[in-house]
Amino acid sequence: MPLTPPAEPDLEPKMNWASFYAVISGVNRHSTGIGRIWLSVLFLFRLLVLVVAAESAWGDEKSGFTCNTEQPGCNSVCYDHFFPISHIRLWALQLILVSTPALLVAMHVAHRRHIDKKMLKISGRGSPKDLEQIKNQKFKITGALWWTYMISLFFRVFFEAAFMYIFYMIYPGYKMFRLVKCDSYPCPNTVDCFVSRPTEKTIFTVFMLAVSGVCILLNIAEGIFLVGRACSRHFRDAQDSPIGALFMQKLFSY
């Protein structure tokens, strides 16, 4: 009797929203206060609502889409005509693209830690305690990290706005209709097609659009906060220097 080899343990990391959540929440440490609020809004009001509620509302969107015809293929063609890309897939893409710029910041921090570790090892102080301290060190958002953070904020706002625009182009208006009229080939004439759960879908569409808007506002607020902090830091440093003090004196003498 041939011996079956033992089954290999499943070592592949699962590619799902949980692993995505684990990766993105790691960025939390290097964010500002507003950044953490944005991350919470993203996870609780967008990702969680998408996974536990919206996906089941759109679950039967294709099987529940019925047209008043017996013509084979008409159903399928009309569904494809009115729903080129499902709302759920569009929101999933939006969430992934909007969250990924935050990884730029994580990559920058990892790069700086790597440099610091190298410097420590070269200087001969590479004890495990010092290396551990570097691992847990929190960097201030200044200098090059500030620019990386601002670029990530810009891309976040850009992707949010781009997806809102794409949404508007594909589905002008937020309302989902019960009945759509379709005359694409091979439908013999203009047939009535009925959409499944249109009111529920309208409610969730409005909800997700509103939360996207809130996220855009949070990102803009974070950008303004970072710029304001950088300006105040710049003026404080300028006041400390003698040339700066002279400049400030002349400025306020007007």
Partner 1 sequence: MSWLTLYSQLTGVNKHSTSLGKVWLSVLLFFRIMILMLAAEKVWGDEKSEFSCNTLSPGCESVCYDHYFPISHIRLWCLQLIFVSTPALLVAMYVAYNKHGTKRVILRSGNENIEGDLKALKNKRLPITGQLWWIYFFSLLLRLLFEGGFMYALYTIYGSFYISRAVLCNVKPCENQANCYISRPTEKTIFTIFMVVSSSLCILLNLAELFYLIAKALIRSFQLSNRRQDCNHLASKFEETIPMEKQTSPKY
State the angle between helix axes of 33-41 and 198-240 in degrees (0 to 180), rounded to the nearest 10. Answer: 170
Among 34, 39, 47, 187, binds partner 1 (CB under 8 A): 47
CA atoms within 13 A on the CB side of 60: 10
The reply on whether position 130 binds partner 1 by CB under 8 A is no
**Smallest distance, partner 1 to C-beta of residue 66, A:** 6
Nearer to partner 1, 74 or 157 (CB): 74
Tell me the Cα Rg of the chain: 26
Residue 75 C-beta: closest distance to partner 1, Å? 10
195 lies in the site for partner 1, by CB under 8 A: yes
**Residue 239 interacting with partner 1 (CB under 8 A):** no
Quick one: which of 93, 97, 145, 192 contacts partner 1 (CB under 8 A)?
A: 192
- The token pair at 228 is 């304001």
Nearest residue to 153 via CA among 224, 211, 212 = 224
One of 45, 82, 171, 225 touching partner 1 (CB under 8 A): 45
Q: Is residue 21 near partner 1 by the rule CB under 8 A?
A: yes
Does residue 186 touch partner 1 according to CB under 8 A?
Answer: no
| Closest distance of CB 109 from partner 1, Å | 17
CB of 107 to partner 1, least distance (A): 23
Return the axis-axis angle of helices 101-123 and 128-136, rounded to nearest 10°.
160
CB half-sphere exposure, 209, CA atoms < 13 A: 17
Under rule CB under 8 A, residue 15 binds partner 1: no
- The tokens for 183 are 């005359």
What's the full length of the chain, in residues?
A: 254
Q: Pick out residues in 62-121 that bind partner 1 (CB under 8 A).
A: 64, 66-69
Q: Please identify which residue in 200, 220, 225, 244 interacts with partner 1, judged by CB under 8 A.
A: 200
CB of 196 to partner 1, least distance (A): 6
In Å, how far are 2, 8, 9, 12, 91 from 5, measured between CA atoms? 9, 9, 12, 19, 43
Structure tokens at 246: 């002279």
Given 4, 16, 136, 253, the residue binding partner 1 (CB under 8 A): 16
Tell me the C-alpha distance between 85 and 128, whole Å.
Answer: 52
Q: Which lies closer to partner 1 via its Cβ, residue 32 or residue 150?
A: 32
Name the nearest CA neighbour of 186 among 87, 72, 101, 90.
72
CB distance 42 to 156 below 8 Å: no
Residues that bind partner 1 (CB under 8 A): 16-18, 20-21, 33, 36-37, 40, 43-45, 47-49, 51-53, 56-57, 60, 64, 66-69, 178-179, 192-200, 203-204, 207
